Amino acid sequence: KAKRNLPEGDPIGKRDVTRNIIVQAGERIQITFQRKNLVVSMSGRALSSGSFDEKIRVRPDGSVKSFQGSVSGEKEVRIEFR
């Protein structure tokens, strides 16, 4: 998304555009924990905002522990364990 009107033909720099935030801090989200073939999904809250594939902090419902995961879609965060 452009921050301002961009003249036709001018190159576009990072300062000319904003990130497309698809997870907002405080929003209810779906968290997917994945390790090889095991996948567990649960609801939780985003502790920070982020755009696609950006790392953010989340907290599953009923937990005091927070985790870092990657935004994988609108209101969705993926956490991979190795």
The pLDDT-based confidence of 2 (bands split at 50, 70, 90) is confident
What is the C-alpha to C-alpha distance for residues 10 and 5, in angstroms, rounded to an integer?
Answer: 11
State pLDDT tens for residues 5-28. 888 888 888 777 777 899 999 999
State pLDDT tens for residues 39-56. 999 999 999 999 999 999
Q: What is the pLDDT of residue 30?
A: 98
Asked if pLDDT for residue 1 goes beyond 80, the answer is no
Q: What share of the chain is helix, strand, coil (3-state, %, to 5)?
A: 5, 50, 45
CA 70, 72, 74, 75 torsion: positive or negative? Answer: negative
What is the C-alpha to C-alpha distance for residues 38 and 68, in angstroms, rounded to an integer?
Answer: 18
